[in-house]
Amino acid sequence: MKEQLKTIQEKALAEIKNASDTKVLDDLKVKLLGKKGELTAILKQMGGLSPEERPQIGQLANDVRQSIENGIANMREQLKAAQTELKLKSERVDVTLPGKHFSQGRRHPLNTVLDELKEIFKGMGYSVVDGPEVEETKYVFDMLNTDEGHPARDPQDTFYITDSILLRTQTSSVQIRTMLEQAPPIAIISPGRVYRRDAVDSTHSPIFHQCEGLVVDKGITFSDLKGTLEMFAKRLYGNDVKVRFRPHHFPYTEPSAEVDLQCFKCGGKGCPLCKGEGWIEMLGSGIVHPQVLINCGIDPEVYSGFAFGIGLERIAMMRYEVDDLRLFYENDQRFLKQF
């Protein structure tokens, strides 16, 4: 039995030395020291030994087991060290190579203008209010005096989901929701995306951004509206900006006015951008129609108000002297890096 144990030890140490990876070591450990291993099979025969031989063979068997376990442990460490060394060599980084350049992002010009717009109106005491883009016709049309048959409600002008659900054409719906939920005094702006079936050109898009404003309080007049919008234009474009108010019609304001800014490209002389007029339409505005106040449960004999709607893209076009709003949507880095 002594010879068998020595043979197992010599053979085991040789196999351990030649092991190529840790899986081979694991297999050897099971083969030699497992419940059905070679060393275990020898130890099961110790019951047939004499009392004098048993301690000697037992001690030798323990030495053989310890020798095999130490051999496996040492070889495992050697294999791990070799793998680590190989990995370090294969993943070595040449620190003398130039580093990779990562472009730094920046705010989109539309977001920059919107932030400026918010700060201007917050400075005048306005709150910023948000609302759903998928809206009910009740809030977009009915409560704003835009009855059935009005051109704005035509499917050729509006994206309908159902007969009573649509993609909002203006953020005026947020004004209605605010007046239904909040008693005057009210001073809010409501920025957000809006949707209309407009053909894409240098000044139109089916998806664009709008910011509407609403003030409702006692004693509000058209002069308050005019002063507010002139202050806004000067804060955004400078004191030299020229603003023009033109009579207009909106079903939800009376009286109503379009507000134009002198064309930045031609200085009012007329060019393709302003279609030869010398002015670019900036926004629509007016005194809130008494019926709209009544629809929202506000007494027009006590309160009055004004509202306006600003196209964010047109504001950005004039702010940065861009003559085609499509540039804001094309994600062309050559264009966006200028801002």
What structural domains and CATH numbers belong to the chain?
A: 2-90 (no CATH), 109-336 (3.30.930.10)
pLDDT band at 102 (very low <50, low <70, confident <90, very high): confident
Q: What are the two backbone dihedrals, phi and then psi, of residue 149, each rounded to the nearest 5 degrees?
A: 95, -15
Asked whether the beta carbons of 238 and 318 are under 8 A apart, the reply is no
How many residues comprise the chain?
A: 339
Instruction: Read off the pTM.
Output: 0.67
Which pLDDT score is estimated for 46? 65
Which pLDDT score is estimated for 323? 84
List, for residues 293-323, the tens digit of each pLDDT value: 999 999 999 999 999 999 899 888 888 888 8
What does the pLDDT average to over 250-272? 87
Cα within 13 Å of Cα(248), Cβ side: 19
Which pLDDT score is estimated for 180? 96
Which pLDDT score is estimated for 67? 81
Q: Which residue has the higher pLDDT, 89 or 182?
A: 182
Would the pLDDT of 167 be above 80? yes
Would the pLDDT of 56 be above 80? no
Asked whether the beta carbons of 258 and 277 are under 8 A apart, the reply is no
Place of tokens 């920059």: 112
Q: By percentage, how much of the chain surpasses pLDDT 90?
A: 44
Would the pLDDT of 237 be above 80? yes
Average predicted confidence (pLDDT) for the chain? 86
What does the pLDDT average to over 53-59? 70
Which pLDDT score is estimated for 45? 66
CA trace torsion 296, 143, 300, 221 (10° rounding): 120
Would the pLDDT of 44 be above 70? no
Which pLDDT score is estimated for 78? 84
Q: How far is CA 264 from CA 81, 90, 272, 298, in A?
A: 71, 60, 12, 41
What does the pLDDT average to over 212-231? 95
**87-118 exposure pattern, b = at least 16 Cβ within 10 A, e = fewer:** eeeeeeeeeeeeeeeeeeeeeebbeebbeebe
74 Cβ contact partners less than 8 Å away, ≥ 6 residues apart:
none
pLDDT band at 21 (very low <50, low <70, confident <90, very high): confident
Asked whether the beta carbons of 243 and 230 are under 8 A apart, the reply is yes
Among 304, 122, 128, CA closest to 211:
128
List, for residues 107-141, the tens digit of each pLDDT value: 899 999 999 999 999 999 999 999 999 999 999 99
Would the pLDDT of 52 be above 70? no
List, for residues 174-215, the tens digit of each pLDDT value: 999 999 999 999 999 999 999 998 888 887 889 999 999 999
DSSP assignment, residue 168?
-
Lowest mean pLDDT across 23-27, 55-59, 287-291? 55-59
